Amino acid sequence: MMSMEEALTRAAVRLREAKHVVALTGAGISRESGLPTFREAQSGLWAQYRPEDLATPEAFARDPGLVWRWYAWRRSLVNAAVPNAAHRALVDLEAAVPRFSMVTQNVDGLHQRAGSPEVIELHGNITRVRCARCGRYVTAEGLPDEGPAECEDCGGLLRPDVIWFGEVLPREALEKASEAAGDCDAFLVIGTSGVVYPAAGLTDIALRTGAAVISINPDASSAPPGAMQLTGSAAEILPRLVEAARGKPSPPSS
């Protein structure tokens, strides 16, 4: 088996040679900012629910108060969290390569807060709320924990501006992401279990394009087949990978 050092060097070479790098992130990149992944969100307070049962239009129709409370809880975690070394490393990488596309399944806004200039959000953003009836947007600041609040314009129920299971992804975001995946030389897939489509399909596009697909995940079984695997946490591995790609020596491993 290849050593971590060797795998890192090989991946760094592919990044350095790339004209267009795409990064696709999932919940795992924000793990070290203290945000639970979806699997982990099943523990504790919400142990009796599966995220799939809270993140659907049907759940909202059935019990909007429950869904509202779940998102209010997640929003409070997001507001208290700060970007970590992995988010920052992607900002550095973007500055170092000719072209870069930042694509995320996350709704936490941490890439933007880390300084990523343009983020393609496939699943919306939890810090925004919109009217389920007329579509009016509201920033989620100062919203009550109990809800849903009502739209000032039409009296409809306010809902988080995220994409629920069974809903269609924003067309423009998905188009941009697909184009980028079909045009890149290196594709980083970071902290995602890769089971939720159509986002997971972007990795397939990149593989078909012949891009080097580089997976960063502590769980080796989450890596898509055909990917170069860097097994470990994003906050630990990404800064080393980006340093190596930029040609700086990585600190000796102890």
Catalytic residue IDs: 123
Check residue 160 and give left, alpha or beta (phi > 0: left; psi -120 to 50: alpha). beta
Q: How crowded is the C-beta side of 74, counted as CA atoms within 13 Å?
A: 28
From ligand NAD, Zn ion, none, which one binds at residue 38 (CB under 5 to 8 Å depending on kind)?
ligand NAD
User: CA-CA distances (angstroms) from residue 65 to 158, 159, 177, 211?
Assistant: 11, 10, 33, 45
Number of residues that bind ligand NAD (CB under 6 A): 27
Binding pattern for the stretch 55-94 against ligand NAD, x by CB under 6 A and - elsewhere: x---------------------------------------
Verify binding: residue 196, ligand NAD, rule CB under 6 A: yes
Judge contact between 107 and 164, C-beta under 8 A.
no
Verify binding: residue 233, ligand NAD, rule CB under 6 A: yes
From ligand NAD, Zn ion, none, which one binds at residue 214 (CB under 5 to 8 Å depending on kind)?
none
Verify binding: residue 192, ligand NAD, rule CB under 6 A: yes
Considering only 33, 101, 217, 229, the residue that binds ligand NAD (CB under 6 A) is 217
Q: Is the link from the previous residue into 239 a cis peptide, with omega within 30 of 0?
A: no
Measured distance CA(30)–CA(230) in Å, rounded? 17
From ligand NAD, Zn ion, none, which one binds at residue 222 (CB under 5 to 8 Å depending on kind)?
ligand NAD
- Burial (Cβ within 10 Å: 0-12, 13-18, ≥19) of residue 140: buried
Measured distance CA(87)–CA(152) in Å, rounded? 36
To ligand NAD, the closest distance from the beta carbon of 149 in angstroms equals 19
| Site residues, ligand NAD (CB under 6 A) | 26-29, 31-32, 37-39, 51, 55, 105-106, 123, 162, 164, 191-193, 196, 216-219, 222, 233-234
